[in-house]
Structure 1
Amino acid sequence: MIYLDNSATTRPNDEVLDAYIKVNENFFANASSLHNFGGKVEQLITKAREQIADLAGVKPSEIIFTSGGTEGNNLAIKGAAINYQARGNHIITTAVEHPSVKEPCKQLEGMGFKITYLPVNAEGAVSASAVEAAITDETILVSIIHVNNEIGTVQPVKEIGRLLQKYPKVIYHVDHVQGAGKVALDLYESHIDLCTFSAHKFNGLKGSGFLFKKQSVKLAPLLTGGNQEQKLRSGTENTGGIVAMAKAYRLAESNRIHKGHKLLQIREFLLENLQSIPGVIIHTPVNGAPHIICLSCKGQKGEVMVHALEEEGIIVSTTSACSSKEQLPSSTLKAIGVENDIAQGAIRVSLSTENTLEEAEIFIKKLTEILQRLNKVMRRNQ
């Protein structure tokens, strides 16, 4: 099997799985318990928090453990909106956010908040000047995705963060779920207040994630109870998942630094060869993230291409895995001006450092053969 759906989820590293199993076998106590066994578990969580903070370049007290990207985005957006609603009721985001940002914003709209969904250019990027132009006296939050999960656009989050320094009332949230381990992001330099991470996107385990929360920022909790995670995320800690995530994040950052060129090499090969296949339309910007390529095959449905490639042992997806079963045109592709019939034919190829150039060559060969076969059938039926 050639797995090219790494933006949906990644294969957990062997070391990550080993860490998870060992912790759950040997340190299964509740970290909140008063006995020494519970204390040892708490120490493991503290150590993992310190390791993650060091990798992210922030303070350990600024790391809040969550169950993943959806919870992290919800906590950041709803938590900030509810806590700072006395300052104002206006939130700015973009038309190309992940559903775990869009849906909380829609929910807040129903609660009386005003949401501005900024348009993007043909490459899926929002401009810092557009963000600034949308700011009003009521603006309390700006939420921007770093790497678009469907087409791989990298937003100018650092530039946006700098301009927001002129507006101290505004909290700045970045969804870094698709960027972690692939695209560098300095949280302090970018003046980010809240930033979301999810372990299963960087070869960790599903059900684990963390939210960076700058010390000066206050949030209203979504989950209340036992007051874990600075009273922001109650619930018994997933110790195995947390320790495994720290290991996965370390390996991912090492791969980004030492193997990032490999991803770029495969991406460049794919882009160059896809351009030569008749009927293929590429939606991904040239300067996008190193691991995502979105394309449409003219005249073909995305789900047809996914299953045809699967029969050849190649796994890809139709844009976002979170909404692929709805069989609706991608909202991101619609936002960049792609027509519905082309958008419905979109598929996403997403890489990891485990992929090889040889696999990319096989993908190009099989895609070409599949399109030739399908187009022949279409001509016969016309």
Structure 2
Amino acid sequence: MKSHLTNDIKYFDYNATHPPYPEILESCLKEYLENFYNPSGITRYSLKNQGKIEQTRKYLSQVTNGKEKQFIFSSTGTEANFLLIQSLRILYPNLDSVIVSPFEHASMYAALDSFGFSPILVHANKSGTIDLNHLERLLKENPKPVICLYAGNETGVIQPAKLIHDLAKEHGQLFYSDLMQAFCKIPVPFDLFDGYTFSGHKIGAGMGAAVTYLPAENKNFRLFGGGNQENEHRAGTENTFAINCLQKVTEIQLTNLEEKNIKLKGFQKILEDQLESFGCEIIAKNENRLHNTTFLILPIQTVDFFLLGLEEKGIIVSTGSSCKSRAREASKSLLQMGYSEEEALRAIRISTGSFTTLEDLNLLIDQINILIQKLK
């Protein structure tokens, strides 16, 4: 299946948004146009649409080994994260802080702040993984729920979830995880997490559907009130089109997962070998990482001109997590890992995916080389 892109853009920012699968979105749109009825209505047409939503919920329970009623659909990853953290506030009304990795998406920290939790940051290693010794010390001194994403938005580093889970459970604590970058990119040990989130736009299902898996059935877990949709967890008419897309693209991604990762692992090696020959530093190169993600420090100071130069050639990369890439702030992940602000400001992220071709990759490598030599 090929990308729908018919222009000359060479896209290397899959971690921000995966280009949509055109055949899937077109078939789901056709289905929506023929059956646009509000799933919350009382007619048989509405009930049929509600049944489709429940079928997707059932499908997710099957691929994750989770409980159907604990899967809640919302519209964005940010909403999904807010619902996840709201569940903590309901479970622990007097809790003032939680233990959090320093690599979370900005929406996770914002959700913690919104619900009155102070984040206790776990120390990080230059490898891009959290310091398990520090985590253990924090849990011993003052046990708190633990929040740690499974795969880094910027570095692609995969955290030691089994060890984190074991430490959390040893001290009787919940373990939540943001799976936005892991879902449909690598096999995910869902059973290790009490609660988690992921989003359709990260896998090629388009915008409009994200998922929260709640730690228990509890009607008091509620993102919005005012309606009984999503078992009263999130008022508002469900996006039947986006939810349908989410299931169908998930099916494709999981079916092709091994084949895709073999391809992307090969691309990653080709890319990183060349980048190192140009004087770039590959961050966390020897760690367990997503095969689609390369986070690097350029050997030049003029990163803005470098990015503009790539864009002029129709090539799109990123400076890091999409929540802040426009701001051009130093990557907080890199600062927590021990890199200097100057180094962090020279970092860019290249992320590939289902539609990336070797031809596109070679063009990217050539243009990076030309720009580095020109801007040195």
TM-score calculated relative to the size of structure 1 = 0.91
Consecutive unaligned residues in structure 1, runs of 5 or more: 376-382
Helix, strand or coil for the counterpart of 2:231?
coil
1:193 aligns with 194
The 1:269/1:218 distance shift into structure 2, 3 A limit, reads farther
The CA deviation at 1:251 is 1.2
2:102 aligns with 95
CA distance, structure 2, for counterparts of residue 151 and residue 72 of structure 1: 22
1:37 aligns with 45
CA distance, structure 2, for counterparts of residue 258 and residue 281 of structure 1: 28
1:58 aligns with 66
1:256 aligns with 257
Counterpart pick for 1:71 among 72, 79, 82? 79
The CA deviation at 1:136 is 5.8
CA distance, structure 2, for counterparts of residue 107 and residue 298 of structure 1: 39
The CA deviation at 1:55 is 2.2
Helix, strand or coil for the counterpart of 1:174?
strand
The 1:337/1:127 distance shift into structure 2, 3 A limit, reads closer
1:378 aligns with none
CA distance, structure 1, for counterparts of residue 27 and residue 166 of structure 2: 39
The 1:82/1:59 distance shift into structure 2, 3 A limit, reads closer
Which deviations, in whole Å up to 9, do the C-alpha atoms of 1:319-367 show, x marking residues without a partner?
Answer: 1121012121111111112222221121110010211223222211111
2:4 aligns with none
1:126 aligns with 130
1:2 aligns with 10
Are residue 23 (structure 1) and residue 31 (structure 2) matched? yes
The CA deviation at 1:99 is 0.4
Which deviations, in whole Å up to 9, do the C-alpha atoms of 1:168-198 show, x marking residues without a partner?
Answer: 3x2211000011111211211x2x1111001
CA distance, structure 1, for counterparts of residue 61 and residue 356 of structure 2: 28
Are residue 177 (structure 1) and residue 180 (structure 2) matched? yes
Which deviations, in whole Å up to 9, do the C-alpha atoms of 1:48-82 show, x marking residues without a partner?
Answer: 21222222232322311111211111111132124
CA distance, structure 1, for counterparts of residue 138 and residue 158 of structure 2: 20
For the 8 Å contact 1:69–1:197, the answer to whether it is kept is: yes
| Count of aligned pairs between the two proteins | 367
The root-mean-square deviation of aligned C-alpha atoms, in Å, is 1.9
CA distance, structure 1, for counterparts of residue 50 and residue 17 of structure 2: 28
For the 8 Å contact 2:297–2:343, the answer to whether it is kept is: yes
Task: Give percent identity, aligned residues only.
Answer: 29
Bigger CA drift: 77-86 or 287-296? 77-86
Helix, strand or coil for the counterpart of 1:31?
coil
TM-score calculated relative to the size of structure 2 = 0.92
1:162 aligns with 166
Helix, strand or coil for the counterpart of 1:92?
strand
The 1:40/1:129 distance shift into structure 2, 3 A limit, reads same
Task: Give the residue type in structure 2 aligned to 1:364.
Answer: I
The CA deviation at 1:149 is 0.6
1:380 aligns with none
The CA deviation at 1:107 is 3.4
Consecutive unaligned residues in structure 2, runs of 5 or more: 1-8
Task: Give the residue type in structure 2 aligned to 1:281.
Answer: E
For the 8 Å contact 2:109–2:119, the answer to whether it is kept is: no
CA distance, structure 1, for counterparts of residue 361 and residue 243 of structure 2: 33
